[in-house]
Amino acid sequence: MFLEAEVSGVGTFIQLLMLFVIMLAVMYFFLIRPQQAQQKERQAMIDGLAKGDKIVSIGGIHGEITAISDDHIKLKIADGTVISLSKSGVGSVIS
């Protein structure tokens, strides 16, 4: 009788461990992996910015890139109006 209780305890532990492993796998495939892909896509977009590209900032400002430095861009938003914007503030590039 003592051995049966011990074996069922080990079985319960293995079931609990398998449930934990399955939960981690689901989290990886539904949360972590898509986020990494989205981050790579965004980094490629930021690295591909060029002078003359039309962009929309995260705050919704539309403009055209007039100059690019390491981590900032100059954005022409109206005639005679140029603002400086961090590259990380770029929301999307307009085709």
21-43 pLDDT per residue, tens: 999 999 999 999 999 999 999 99
Q: 41-64 as b/e, with b when 16 or more CB fall inside 10 Å?
A: eeeeeeeeeeeebebebeeeeebe
Q: DSSP of 16-37, one letter per residue?
A: HHHHHHHHHHHHIIIIIHHHHH
Question: pTM of the prediction?
Answer: 0.71
Mean pLDDT score across all residues of the chain: 90
Sheet of 62-68, strands arranged across: 81-86, 72-78, 62-68, 54-57, 90-94
Segment 35-59 mean pLDDT: 95
Which of helix, strand or coil describes residue 81? strand
Separation of alpha carbons 62 and 68, rounded Å: 16
Give the residues across from 82 on adjacent strands.
76
Average pLDDT over residues 59-88: 96
